[in-house]
Structure 1
């Protein structure tokens, strides 16, 4: 297929997706029923995903090296402008409804008007702020959200203050540290001229931890509620009062969401006190960390595996089990296994891969004897290259992974690596097989269901 034919095909797909989006948007606006509204929202998001996918492919077909450089130059300045607007609280000074003169805004914020005007006009080119009259500024729907949602500004500031400067030190870090996996030998340590690991910094500086959490959410790390909503595609009600074991959890937030949706289930959350990760721990917002962790750690933490539970609700039991210890619950209907977050190119990454292999091998006997299902959440694994219809989603995931490497020498497992491990996990009587791949609307695999299959 030549380039013009590809362009025509994408044009047709884009037109169809836009018509679908308009239809479903009207359905959402006119629907009074919650369930109908929920279904319409799903269709709306699906159409939106298709629009972005077609636009991205058309941009690839039409763009060249000059367009790429121009786009990068614009993005660099947009990040700098967001940082400047946040630093001087410009967005909060502009009325959400209506607007004000740039001169009055400059006087109020204490900044040079000529600089303010240039920044506003650049941001206006991407729909962020607008100039409805000469030298008069007002919010757009996009910029107004940065006033009402502080986490968006937190994410932007983190990007400007840390993510971007750290990324630019990547080549120097490679020259100086090679393939080192040590948390103090990173691009981050060079960018800030510090020996304090990034993971320690976000623990000791609450504001930085908050910004990091906001940044992760903004760059595509799924919140547990979203993951649970997707996992709800499974037929949980058919399990009745069965036991569900969540292995390697960092909090009880996923269990709480499941218990709320399916109150007849009995959930056992196995916290692994030896498993810690800059990514997995601080991907939770502070409120989730308080509600999901502090409440449940009322039980005395004991080494290895503890039978003393702390209860978040009558249907949730919290215990403590380190990776590699025998699984004490052998009669559950479903085991939800959380994977460790490590850099796959480091010695600790190799250990992490071995840990996953060993953990899966441990479940061979349990699944063979009980017929239980193993469920692995995979929303934060790196997708198979080229597997998503919209390459933007893969780009976001891989940018997040690189950021983790630059900041802390950590990273996310490739989906292909996990699939390879599952495919080779077997014993003399049978093997593990994937029975279902749960996907989000953008095509990302958010969960795998696995069972034991005996050899014929």
Structure 2
């Protein structure tokens, strides 16, 4: 399904050039109206739950992402893009900047709400007074009211009658979804303090690529993120659950890799090595689609491998083996057809990413594929603002916590070239509806 002409780059603000900075309000409004109708008509025709922040509203946007709904999601993205653009334009640069810097208060309200477990205090049905919430939190009513009323601006709780608080769909998620709870509290407890040390880290270690020379370390008594989590099992467990919430979000699903890489070009009985594969959950999905492939799941953390092996479907066990391995050391599985690295290299600076690739080289045969499933950042303004904000924020978090980064396609090409001239870089492909890319290189040793 095609979207109206008003959804082009010139009217939604995607792309580059002066048009992006000088859209007409009326054209943006027309784009919003046209694409809202496309989305709304589909929801109503399919009998899907209507988007709502009412407490009984759907937790996710109700239209599934499938090949059949690709056009509908294009309309949705055009709607989001034009809505953000018209809001910013109507605000104006002065007010926009003035209030942008106050966004830390949004994080602060989430911190208070989760620290005092207010979503559990507010009944799932009905309402409760600020006075009762304050009593249960042992915080004065007026201070609780200050916090919650700011949260309400972000559709977290609402006030059905004066002085009383009830749930919205967003606050209900905080009450009922442990992955969302862990995602929020990981950010408020562990990342937010580090965000205040970015300037100090850049001044102290401007050239460093070490995980110890970071804003996170400055905020945590010189401990790197890995040291910090290693010394605190409960925080490490929460981190793992937070990453599950992040990586299963829209645009990050494993199915994009399974369906959009040409696995069929590998030999029929190919061996695929999942480097840093944790429990092997990616290969489990691949094994269902390619029953003749063999999979070797590698990880440094033995507990992850044991969990993966113990929970593996017995029908898949003949296809799998599990190997304890540090990906900074020489690859032990020689001559495999493909070496898969998913969501590992963005945790490391170029210095260590290069070591990771070089560690594969002694094991590679002519034609071996190295497949990296991570971001390949586009030029500014190519993505719609909603997607671009997510990937640019993630890039910032990588620097703040690990002195690492999300790479552009040119960065990937350079890394392979520097690792070994025998790599033939095949490019970076972004599947439809996916925020991640499939980066591929072939080892040519003839």
TM-score normalised per structure 1: 0.74
Classify 1:451/1:173 alpha carbon distance in 2 versus 1 (closer, same or farther; 3 Å): closer
* Correspondence 1:404 to 2:408: no
Q: Judging by fraction of residues, say which structure has more strand.
A: 1
Cα distance in 1 for residues equivalent to 2:348 and 2:307: 31
Ranges in structure 2 where 5+ consecutive residues have no aligned partner: 1-17, 50-62
| Distance in 2, Cα, partners of 1:22 & 1:191 | 46
1:118 lines up with 2:146 in the alignment: yes
Match of 2:222 in 1: 195
Are the structure 2 counterparts of residues 151 and 247 from structure 1 closer, same or farther at C-alpha, using a change threshold of 3 Å?
Answer: closer
Structure 1 unaligned blocks of 5 or more = 274-280, 282-288, 299-309
Q: What SS does the corresponding residue of 2:345 show, helix, strand or coil?
A: coil
Distance 2:224 2:276 in 1: 24
| CA–CA distance in structure 1, aligned partners of residues 30 and 361 of structure 2 | 45
1:376 matches 2:371: yes
1:52-91 equivalences under 5 Å are 52-62=80-90, 63-73=92-102, 75-91=103-119
Deviations 1:359-412 (A, max 9, x none): 57975x522xxxx7x362333x35123264313323322322322332333344
1:423/1:433 contact within 8 Å kept: no
| Structure 1 residue 172, shift from structure 2 partner | 1.9
Report the equivalent of 2:253.
Answer: 226
**Of 161, 165, 169, which aligns to 1:133?**
161
Q: Alignment partner of 1:377: what SS?
A: strand
* Aligned-pair CA distance for 1:201: 1.6
Q: CA deviation at 1:335?
A: 4.7
Which of 408, 412, 435 is 1:414 aligned to? 408
Gap change, CA 1:242 and 1:57, over 3 Å in 2: farther
Per the alignment, in what secondary structure is the counterpart of residue 269 of structure 1?
strand
**Secondary structure of residue in 1 paired with 2:227:** helix
CA contact (8 A) 2:261 2:438 kept: no
**C-alpha displacement at 1:355, in angstroms?**
4.4
Larger deviation, residues 241-250 vs 36-45: 36-45
Q: Secondary structure at the match of 2:107?
A: helix
SS in 1 for 2:128: strand
Match of 1:329 in 2: 335
TM-score (norm 2): 0.76
Judging changes above 3 Å, is the alpha-carbon distance between structure 1 residues 129 and 337 closer, same or farther for their aligned structure 2 residues? closer
CA contact (8 A) 2:357 2:419 kept: no
1:259 Cα offset (Å):
1.6
The answer (yes or no) to whether the contact 1:216–1:400 under 8 Å persists in 2 is no
Shift of 1:319: 4.2
* Superposition deviation, residue 134 in structure 1: 0.7
Partner Cα separation in structure 2 for residue 222 and residue 329 of structure 1: 34
What value does the CA root-mean-square deviation take over the aligned residues?
4.0
